[in-house]
Structure formats: structure tokens, C-alpha cells
């Protein structure tokens, strides 16, 4: 009986040791996976910022070192740690992708009670991360989901050039997207982008060489339910003179008067938030400039909710004139890269028109109204145009409008382990949004926020 008891005790001790060491292996695996994901993410950020592959490798290696994983022996003859960073990845579904980084961490874990368990070592974790476009490639989006004809309309004198993105039209009408410009040199969409429309098309899409997909699924508003700016801390401007600095420049505020540049006096907008309750009209012969501005056009009693019996009015945003208008969005913070945002309660069109020139850096978001272009020269840089409907009208030579949308990417860095099938290579995937210098990623969060996904 004593011998049997001794054997049972040895077996029990072995099982206890096996459980302890299995837990140790699992714990080390989790830490390695976190480190591999983090290192791959660090390399992806460098690629997103325009760095080289070598710089991405250095960043990933440094991040792994920071987390305690430094290569000391990749032969494992003495059983240590090996960190391998590959740009581009050498295996998996992202193999050879120059916008991705692969990190493999392998470590031989020293078990405590059962040395024979070394046969289960080394423990391996693999992470892959990259900068990818999550904006669906649309520079222009016409959101109207009804049976609206010409929800996107390029008229016969339009002169439109889209770079970095295509066109989305949600209308289900038979001629939801109409192109009356039959000169292919005056309507161009950069390859590989084109037109996606839920309904049908009419006009010269084929003749202009613009590929299209009819019957496409309707797409949601990418900025739907985007927060609106608070009034707290902003002065109330009942006249332009009431909100000017010593140099006569307009300062950020809540404007209950039209923010206008009519006449021959130049108008400069200082950086900040402009909440407009009576619209904006830059007609005249004066230059209008502003750097680091966010223009929010809303109704007259904002932020009081519009309820039955509670009425408010909206003013129109009309960026027009015979001189030069140059406005650029903020580059940091909640409103980063968003130039004009019109309240979804306002149905007044937003227009760029006139005989002057307009240059805008930043996105236009007009969810419940038409965006209309009827001018001779307008350029939007780093921008996405999202409106209920889009109407592009004027542009007769020699005063041709060069209407460029540079729809830059809204990158998403995904750190995703795609390791092999060995028991120690189970993976988690991560999806992370990175604040971007391009306009329409619209940094809704001024931080890097990661969340594990299934």
C-alpha cells in the first residue's frame, strides 16, 4: 500500500507540475503575442507616416526590445529568444504587401518542474500590421437614398478631376448619376477609381472612360452622428466688428450675423471654431483667407433642439466672389481635417461659385443638402466631399475650373497574428485607427485607440 501511495503521489506531483508549466507556457504565449502585435503596429505607423521599410523594421525591433524581447539566439541551441521583423511579410494573406510589417517572436520558455516539457518549446507568436484605406475609395459621396434623379450631376460645362478616390451615389433612380460632360479631358477620375451607384447611370460615363458599377449596395454615411461643436468658451458675434482682433481679423465665435466678405475689404479668419447661425457669404472683390479653421453652419437657435412648435432658420454657405478665397482646416484635435460641416437640420445648399478662385484644404460634410459648384476655378486638397446631392455646373474655356479632390486615405492599422497552426501560435487580431493628415479621415478621436476583435 505504501508503494502504491508513493506512486500515486509522484503521479499527482507530475500532474501538478504539468498544470503549472502549462499555465506558464500560456502566460508567456499571451505576452509574446501582445509584444508581436505592438511591434508590428509600431512598424505600420512608420509606413503610414511615409517612412521606409528599413525604418519600419527598426521601429518594430525597438518596440519589441522595449517590451523585453531582444534577439540573443535564433538557433535555440541554448534556448533563448529570437525576434524576426519582415518587411514586407513573407507569408500569409499579406505576403509581399509593402504597406504591412510582419513580426515573429520565438522564445524557449524554461519550465519549472517538468524539464521534459521543453519538447513543447519554443513558444511562437506572429503579428502583422499595416496601413490600409478604410474610406472605400470615395472622394465624392452623394448620400440621398431615395429615388432621386441626378443625385450626382456633372453638367455639360463641368470640369472635374478626381484624384485618390471615386464617386458613390446612393440614389436608386434609373439616372441617379448623370454625366453630361462629353469631353473626356474635362472629366477624369484617377485609376483605379470610378463610380459606384445604387441605381443607374445616364450620359457620357463610357465615353469619358470612367468605369462604373450600377446596382451597387447603398453605403452608410461615414460621418453619421458626428458630434457637433459646443458653444462654451466662444464669444457671441452680433456683428463682424464685435469679433475682430486688433488687426481687424475675425476671431472664432458664435456668429449670429452673416460671416461675409462682401465689398472690397479683405477678410482673414483666425484659427479656431466658427459656429454660423446666419450663414456665410464671401461675395465681392475681397480676398478671404483662413488657416486652421472649422466652419459649422447651423440653425438660428442652436443648440436648442428643434421640436414641434420650436422653429429655427438656417443661413446659406456661399463661397463666392471675384477674388481669391483660401481656407484650410485644423490639423489637430476633434475637428482635424474637416473644413465645412453643415448641420443635418439645414437643407440650404452649400455653393462654391463666382469668377474668382477657391482653394480649400479639408473636407466638406453637407449631409442634408446639395453641394453645388458653379465657378471658374476651385481646388480641394486632401478632401472628401459628402453631401446629400452633388451638382457640378459651370466651367467653360478659357476660364476652366480645375476641380480637384485629393481623397487621401483614412488608414487603418491592423495588427493581426496570422501565425501557423502550432498550438503555441494562436492569434488575436486588432484593428486600430490612426489620426491622419488627410482630410476625411476626420479624426473623430484625437488619439490612437485599439480594440481587440474576433
Residues, the chain: 454
pLDDT given at position 26: 78
Residues 266, 287 contacting (CB under 8 angstroms)? yes
pLDDT given at position 372: 93
Cell of 34: 501582445
pLDDT band at 176 (very low <50, low <70, confident <90, very high): very high
Neighbour tally for 210: CB within 10 Å = 23
DSSP class of residue 299? B
pLDDT in tens, 289-320: 999 999 999 999 999 988 887 788 999 999 87
Name the more confident of 47 and 251: 251
- Please report how many Cα atoms fall inside a 13 Å half-sphere around the Cα of residue 62, on the Cβ side: 9
Can you tell me the mean pLDDT for 232-245? 96
In whole angstroms, give the CA distance from residue 416 to residue 127.
5
Distances (CA, A) of 405 to 109, 188, 189, 393: 54, 11, 10, 16
Candidate from 235-239, 282-286, 437-441 with smallest mean pLDDT? 437-441
pLDDT given at position 447: 24
CB neighbour burial string for 149-175, b if at least 16 within 10 angstroms, e if fewer: ebbbbbbbbbbbbbebbbbbbbbbbeb
In whole angstroms, give the CA distance from residue 306 to residue 296.
17
Neighbour tally for 387: CB within 10 Å = 25
Candidate from 84-88, 297-301, 302-306, 412-416 with smallest mean pLDDT? 412-416
pLDDT at 407 over 80: no
Residues 81, 71 contacting (CB under 8 angstroms)? yes
pLDDT given at position 164: 80
pLDDT at 376 over 80: no
Can you tell me the mean pLDDT for 319-343? 88
Looking up cell 460621418 gives 223
Average pLDDT, the chain: 80
Residues 36, 103 contacting (CB under 8 angstroms)? yes
In whole angstroms, give the CA distance from residue 419 to residue 122.
14
pLDDT band at 432 (very low <50, low <70, confident <90, very high): very low
pLDDT given at position 216: 96
pLDDT band at 223 (very low <50, low <70, confident <90, very high): confident
Can you tell me the mean pLDDT for 358-371? 92
pLDDT given at position 322: 78
pLDDT given at position 27: 79
pLDDT given at position 275: 98
Can you tell me the mean pLDDT for 275-296? 91
Is 276 strand, coil or helix? Answer: strand
Name the more confident of 139 and 356: 139
pLDDT band at 446 (very low <50, low <70, confident <90, very high): very low
pLDDT given at position 408: 41
Amino acid at each position: 500500500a505504501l508503494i502504491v501511495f508513493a506512486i500515486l503521489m509522484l503521479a499527482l506531483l507530475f500532474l501538478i507540475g504539468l498544470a503549472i508549466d502549462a499555465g506558464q507556457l500560456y502566460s508567456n504565449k499571451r505576452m509574446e503575442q501582445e509584444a508581436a502585435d505592438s511591434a508590428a503596429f509600431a512598424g505600420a505607423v512608420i509606413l503610414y507616416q511615409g517612412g521606409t521599410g528599413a525604418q519600419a523594421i527598426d521601429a518594430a525591433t525597438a518596440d519589441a526590445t522595449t517590451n523585453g524581447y531582444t534577439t540573443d539566439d535564433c538557433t535555440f541551441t541554448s534556448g533563448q529568444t529570437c525576434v524576426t521583423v519582415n518587411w514586407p511579410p513573407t507569408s500569409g494573406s499579406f505576403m509581399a504587401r509593402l504597406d504591412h510589417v510582419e513580426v515573429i517572436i520565438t522564445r524557449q520558455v524554461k519550465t519549472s518542474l517538468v524539464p521534459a516539457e521543453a519538447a513543447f518549446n519554443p513558444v511562437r507568436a506572429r503579428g502583422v500590421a499595416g496601413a490600409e484605406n478604410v474610406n472605400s475609395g470615395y472622394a465624392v459621396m452623394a448620400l440621398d437614398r431615395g429615388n432621386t434623379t441626378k443625385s450626382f450631376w456633372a453638367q455639360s460645362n463641368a470640369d472635374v478631376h478626381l484624384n485618390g478616390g471615386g464617386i458613390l451615389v446612393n440614389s436608386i433612380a434609373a439616372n441617379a448619376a448623370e454625366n453630361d460632360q462629353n469631353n473626356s479631358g474635362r472629366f477624369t477620375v484617377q485609376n483605379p477609381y470610378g463610380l459606384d451607384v445604387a441605381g443607374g447611370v445616364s450620359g457620357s460615363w463610357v465615353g469619358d472612360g470612367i468605369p462604373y458599377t450600377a446596382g451597387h449596395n447603398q453605403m452608410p454615411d461615414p460621418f453619421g452622428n458626428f458630434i457637433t461643436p459646443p458653444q462654451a468658451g466662444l464669444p457671441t458675434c452680433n456683428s463682424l466688428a464685435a469679433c475682430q482682433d486688433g488687426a481687424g481679423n475675425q476671431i472664432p465665435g458664435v456668429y449670429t450675423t452673416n460671416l461675409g466678405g462682401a465689398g472690397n475689404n479683405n477678410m482673414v479668419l483666425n484659427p479656431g471654431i466658427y459656429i454660423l447661425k446666419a450663414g456665410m457669404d464671401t461675395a465681392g472683390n475681397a480676398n478671404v483667407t483662413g488657416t486652421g479653421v472649422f466652419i459649422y453652419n447651423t440653425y438660428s437657435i442652436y443648440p436648442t433642439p428643434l421640436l414641434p412648435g420650436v422653429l429655427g432658420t438656417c443661413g446659406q454657405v456661399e463661397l463666392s466672389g471675384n477674388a481669391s478665397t483660401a481656407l484650410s482646416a485644423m490639423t489637430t484635435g476633434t475637428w482635424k481635417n474637416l473644413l465645412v460641416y453643415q448641420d443635418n437640420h439645414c437643407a440650404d445648399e452649400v455653393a462654391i461659385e463666382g469668377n474668382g478662385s477657391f482653394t480649400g484644404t479639408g473636407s466638406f460634410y453637407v449631409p442634408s443638402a446639395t453641394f453645388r459648384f458653379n465657378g471658374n476655378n476651385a481646388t480641394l486638397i486632401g478632401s472628401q466631399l459628402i453631401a446629400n446631392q452633388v451638382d457640378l455646373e459651370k466651367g467653360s474655356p478659357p476660364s476652366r475650373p480645375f476641380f480637384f479632390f485629393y481623397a487621401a486615405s483614412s488608414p487603418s492599422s491592423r495588427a493581426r497574428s496570422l501565425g501557423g497552426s502550432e498550438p503555441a501560435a494562436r492569434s488575436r487580431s486588432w484593428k486600430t485607427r490612426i489620426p491622419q493628415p488627410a482630410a476625411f479621415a476626420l479624426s473623430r478621436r484625437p488619439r490612437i485607440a485599439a480594440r481587440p476583435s474576433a
